[in-house]
Amino acid sequence: MTNHDATLEWPDGRSRTIEVREDETILEAAERNDIGLPFGCRTGACGTCTGRLLEGAADDALAHRRRPRALKDRHLADGYVLLCLASPRADCRIAVGSSVHTELVDNPWK
Ligand code: FES
């Protein structure tokens, strides 16, 4: 079983590097390390768990277990990933926290 390091980075400057097995998701690995990340459905539908890859191409660094329905193709191209479905294929750095999900949605009130 191959393990990879995933460095999780929050908007306030905190970061944690955790080891993630290729057969577990980033969200599962975070929970195993007592790190709380936002999530909802855990099925790829709600987008609450969205993270954003900070370097490298998403396809090279991570693989979704099933189609990430909450993300549009342009989101995937921009490096957004669903942490409830994504397993690492390489070491990676990922922006996490609830503000990442809000980046996906245009706010009509501002
Ligand atoms: S928790 Fe709903 S898409 Fe990941």
110, pLDDT greater than 80: no
Token readout for 80 is 């957004």
Q: State the pLDDT at residue 108.
A: 66
Residue-range domain boundaries for the chain: 3-94
Q: pLDDT tens digits, residue range 18-72? A: 999 999 999 999 999 999 999 999 999 999 999 999 986 667 789 999 999 999 9
SS3 (DSSP) at 9: strand
Assess whether the C-beta atom of 37 lies below 6 angstroms from ligand 1. Answer: no
Mean pLDDT of the chain: 92
| Count of CA atoms in the C-beta half-sphere (13 A) of 15 | 12
Assess whether the C-beta atom of 81 lies below 6 angstroms from ligand 1. Answer: no
Segment (H or E) for 6 = strand 3-9
Q: How far is the CA of 104 from the centre of ligand 1 (A)?
A: 14
Closest C-alpha among 4, 23, 7 to residue 65 = 23
Fold of 3-94: Ubiquitin-like (UB roll) (3.10.20)
By mean pLDDT, which of 3-7, 41-45, 69-73, 105-109 is the weakest?
Answer: 105-109
Q: State the pLDDT at residue 44.
A: 96
